[in-house]
Structure 1
Amino acid sequence: MLEYHSAPTADLPALTLYAILRLRVDVFVVEQECAYPELDGRDVEPTAIQFWATDGTEVAATLRLLTDGPDRRIGRVATAVSARGKGVAAELMRRALELCEGHTVRLDAQAHLAGWYARFGFATDGPEFLEDGIPHVPMIRTV
């Protein structure tokens, strides 16, 4: 049974944070074959909030919410292969966006997922760019 959670990174038990980071590495580094510094220092910012869904003891999906001045930034949206297509990441997005009410929200989407983010009110906000060899587009959701 799926359960949804959110908490500031600083409040997470070590094993929960480990499971979240493990899923991100499994998806972004291993599955997508991108050797890059997944741990970029932003998770430990005082206002960083982690969102995750668990299925039993496993983390099924995750994302993080950051503060960028007056704006908010969603990133590191990752879903385990076993949970894809079940709306788990979409529910995490809805929950994160609730906390962003009144703020512009930005993200850098993998280009092939721009349509998925558009479902949540995001629009492309600049030219496509390569990040770790994968085409991305900047996206924005205004208040």
Structure 2
Amino acid sequence: MLEIQVKSFKELTTLELYKLLQLRSEVFVVEQDCVYQDIDGKDEQALHILGFKNKKLVAYTRVFKPGVYFKASSIGRVVVSKHERNHKYGYDIMEASIKAIKSYYNEDLIKISAQCYLKQFYTNCGFKAVGESYLEDGIPHIAMIKEN
């Protein structure tokens, strides 16, 4: 089970910020071989959902209130360390992210831009695909929504 922490950008310690950027880079840039601008100026507006195992950051998302990323509230940068994926921590971090949107923003509608190969995972989390797939940073994505 993950220890979950929810923090605003200002509440993050320098070490936590370093570790979350390191994890995002490890997966999205190196593992997925995708050159893109991860540090996009939106982290300051996000709530950061951190998942720790034995005090090590192994899972992470960032969530936004409506109007920042999409018209609806949203979850992005969903990441689990490669060596921890067999524990299904993706479900834990998504559940914590959905709860954070409800408790911090009082929102039920959530929109995500999901990598197509993870469509079933997000479907299992209660999301439904909308529209056609599209390329985002050279990787096929699809919009998905969840309404509580």
TM-score normalised per structure 2 = 0.88
Q: For structure 1, which runs of at least 5 residues remain unmatched after alignment?
A: none
Q: Indicate the residue corresponding to 1:135 in structure 2.
A: 140
Counterpart residue identity of residue 22, structure 2: R
The one-character-per-residue Cα deviations of 1:89-140 (angstroms, maximum 9, x if unpaired) are: 2111111111333421000000010110011211011110011211100001
Do the aligned residues in 1 keep the contact of 2:110 with 2:146 (CA within 8 Å)? yes
Query: In the alignment, which residue of structure 1 is the partner of 2:60?
Result: 62
1:1-143 residue pairs with structure 2 within 5 A? 2-45=2-45, 48-69=46-67, 71-101=72-102, 102-143=107-148
Structure 1: distance between partners of 2:55 and 2:96: 21
| Distance in structure 2 (CA, Å) of the matches to 1:104 and 1:132 | 25
Taking structure 1 as the reference length, what is the TM-score of the superposition? 0.91
Q: Which runs of 4+ in 1 moved over 3 A?
A: none
Per-residue displacement from partner, 1:2-57 (whole Å, max 9, x unpaired)? 42211112111010111011100110001101110001111111xx1111112234
Across the aligned residues of Structure 1 and Structure 2, the Cα RMSD in angstroms comes to 1.5
Q: Are the counterparts in 1 of residues 134 and 140 from structure 2 also a CA contact under 8 Å? A: yes
- Counterpart code for 2:47: I
Q: Would you say the 8 A contact 2:6–2:100 is kept in 1?
A: no
Is there any run of 5+ residues in structure 2 with no aligned partner, and where?
A: none
1:123 and 1:2 map into 2 onto residues whose CA distance is 26
Counterparts of 1:83 and 1:25, CA distance in 2 = 16
The separation in 2 between residues aligned to 1:44 and 1:91, in whole angstroms, is 24
Tell me the number of residue pairs that the alignment of Structure 1 and Structure 2 aligns: 141
1:68-105 CA distance string (max 9 Å, x none): 33621100001111110212121111111113334210
CA distance in 1, matches of 2:66, 2:41: 14
Identical columns (%) = 33
